[in-house]
Chain A
Amino acid sequence: MIVILHPDNHEPVAFTQAMLDWLPWLEPPAEATLTERQRASLVDAARSKSAYFRLLAREPDILEARTRADKDIFFNTSSGLPRAERELAAAATSRHNGCIYCASVHARHATTFSKRAEDVRRLLEEGVGADLGERWNAIVAASVALAATPIAFGEAHVARLRAAGLDDAEIVDVIHGAAFFNWANRLMLSLGEPASAGA
């Protein structure tokens, strides 16, 4: 078997909030050949258009559990952290790990929910050291420490999040959001490459 190469693709070379495409290095199942189980594992039927999700549907049980965990961690606002700050944790983690595709999606979401486009732009351009105000700085620092291997997140990060006004349920959401992107970044980075949309 051989991988799929994309010699004509010009990979984006900078972080961006623009829409990007993603090209797989392994063959995803064709949309028409997806089994019932594979379709169900996508959770959102529209994801059958995505090469990334079709490739992951080769293992439907883990894709479905991953997708449901993802949606609940980011979309369930019955309690805990505001949406914008969950997206900030995802964007900061992606910026630090170096996932240009993931960072583009979650920086856009962070902008949409926070209305702080300029701060999000600076996170992408300047990196995780950008000064975004203490509450955001504390969330970014916690996300960066959690992304390190070995994990560098410690009691000082918890204390800083508390001092910035986060309660325990909100800190749990920072941990979940940042931890989840250590999952997502590794899949996106290692199974294919980003491409400028429409290229």
Chain B
Amino acid sequence: MSERDVIDLLAGLAPGSPLAAIRDRKPVTRQNAQASYRALFEPADLGDVSAQERFAVATFVAGLHAEEEAAAFYADGLASTEPDAAFVVALSAEVVRGRTVGPYGAYPVGPLSREDVDGPVYYVAEAHRAVLGTRMTAALVHVHMLVFHPRDSSAAALQALLDAGWSNTGIVTLSQLVAFLAFQIRAAAGLRILSRSVS
């Protein structure tokens, strides 16, 4: 029986439960999902992205997904980095401001344009920018796009991150954070829903 990992925790799977046992049959998947979490949130070297930035991004991503278990888990992680109270308040307010429904976005102009779906272009409230800082303000704008309308991605969006002080490697880290969370949160939600009808 494997140790409980973050996906088990978020999905509410107890060790030895039927779905935990199914997960145990694919130990490489299980171990590397957890190794991915560790690489992003407990790395040997934080490199260009601080622990507080990592958990702040995760709190925003989980909040945008409106997944309570993940939102609480990553909010706890953020709290462990001892952020200013005003930072947490501003971030929570941005979660509420940012919520919408995805995926939306535009395709390169052509036959797929008829499938373009309109949606909001998110920005950080003026009143929150100073407390969040330049780097986090730029990150939240990018993260919102990655969560809800990734097909609107552009080189210009990455240039905005570079201009706000993100390095090339830091952008890879940020992209992996959001993309991994899009996986982890869905895997946990899917398993939780499946577990309700497994005897």
Contact = CB atoms under 8 A, between A and B. Distances in A.
B135 interface: no
Contacts of B40: 62
Q: Which 5 A-B pairs have the closest CB atoms?
A: A13-B110, A98-B151, A175-B190, A179-B186, A69-B32
A32 interface: no
Contacts of B147: 149
A45 interface: no
Interface string A166-199: 0011011001101110111111011101000000
Interface of B: 18-19, 22-23, 25-26, 28-29, 31-33, 35-36, 38-40, 43-44, 47, 64-67, 101-103, 105, 107-112, 115, 145-148, 150-151, 153, 155-159, 162, 167-169, 171-173, 175-176, 178-180, 182-187, 189-191, 193-194, 196-198
B159 A175 contact: no
Given A3-B162, A148-B101, A172-B194, A62 B176 contact: yes
A118 interface: no
A65 B32 contact: yes
A62 B180 contact: yes
Given A153-B190, A183-B179, A186-B178, A3 B22 contact: no
A26 B157 CA distance: 12
Nearest to B186: A179
Contacts of B198: 168
A123 interface: no
Interface in A69-106: 69, 71-73, 76, 78-80, 96-100
Secondary structure at the B interface, as helix, strand, loop or mixed, is helix
Given A3-B159, A66-B36, A176-B187, 20 more contacts: A3-B155, A11-B108, A12-B108, A58-B168, A58-B172, A59-B176, A68-B28, A76-B29, A96-B103, A98-B103, A98-B112, A98-B150, A147-B103, A147-B186, A150-B67, A151-B186, A151-B189, A154-B193, A179-B183, A187-B175
B167 to A, nearest CB: 7
25 contacts: A4-B155, A13-B112, A26-B158, A27-B168, A59-B176, A64-B39, A65-B39, A68-B31, A69-B33, A98-B151, A146-B186, A149-B148, A151-B65, A155-B196, A158-B197, A162-B197, A169-B25, A175-B191, A175-B194, A178-B190, A179-B190, A186-B146, A186-B175, A187-B175, A189-B150
Contacts of A69: 28-29, 32-33, 36
B194 A186 contact: no
Contact of A155 (B28, B31, B193): B193
A27 B159 CA distance: 13
A155 B26 CA distance: 24
Contact of A190 (B26, B31, B150): B150
B29 A98 contact: no
Residue with the highest number of chain A CB atoms closer than 10 Å, among B33, B38, B67: B33
Interface in A92-139: 96-100, 127
Given A62-B36, A69-B28, A176-B29, A149 B102 contact: yes
Contact of A79 (B25, B111, B148): B25
Contacts of B159: 2-3
B187 A186 contact: no
B103 to A, nearest CB: 5
